Amino acid sequence: MLGELVSRYKTPFVPFPENPKTIKIGQFEVFEYISPEMMLKYIRQFAYKVDFNEFNHVAVNLNGGLFLFNELTKIKGYDKPPILIEYHRPQNGFGSIETIPVPKELSDKKILIVDDIFDSGGVLKGIFAKVGQDSRAIVAVTKNGIEGQLKDPRIGVAVKINNVWIGGYGMDLGVKGEGQVFREHPGIVVKK
């Protein structure tokens, strides 16, 4: 049954700063949206709501999801390896492209899916279609104001933000030549 995103977890909203600080990451100057210290605070608050042991397996959507998984496992003391999957949202689309699919033997299992961001919900909808009905997802960030965004009570989010293109906390920033520099930044940043 679909419902409001916040029906399971209370998710704080962090507005874009009125006067954002400029910081340098690698060779790039960017606006700081959420500092690493504040992001860690939100993740710690979120961590107490997450029980990895409630699930048969933890599936991590690579790149972005791995950052959140590693942070939560440090806080929670969880030491089991995740199942690595990779799904992407097609450009300008609501759906998902499988690169590393959910293994078929997990189709009836209760899985916790860990990802970086919840935009339209197409990727999570695609993953939910491959796992057990009792599965849930947790993500670091969601955006307000996404038209047609999936409303599903199985999705828990640490932080809500404005609808801007972001980098950091496992996400790239969509700039040429950035490599992994933004994915490894523990805060959230926006292009200048």
Q: Per-residue confidence at 19, pLDDT binned at 50, 70, 90? A: very high
Dist CA 112 CA 138 (whole Å) = 7
What mean pLDDT comes out for the span 174-180? 89
Residue-wise pLDDT tens digits, 54-86: 999 999 999 789 999 999 999 999 999 999 999
CA angle 182, 16, 62 (to 5 degrees): 30
- What CATH number corresponds to the domain at position 24? 3.40.50.2020
Q: Which domain holds residue 140?
A: 5-191
Residue-wise pLDDT tens digits, 85-106: 999 877 766 678 889 999 999 9
- How many independent structural domains does the chain possess? 1
Residue-wise pLDDT tens digits, 146-166: 888 888 999 999 999 999 999
The answer to whether 130 and 108 are in contact (CB under 8 A) is no
CB atoms within 10 A of CB 26: 14
Selection from 39, 3, 22, 10 nearest residue 150 by Cα: 3
Residue-wise pLDDT tens digits, 126-151: 999 999 999 999 999 999 888 888 88
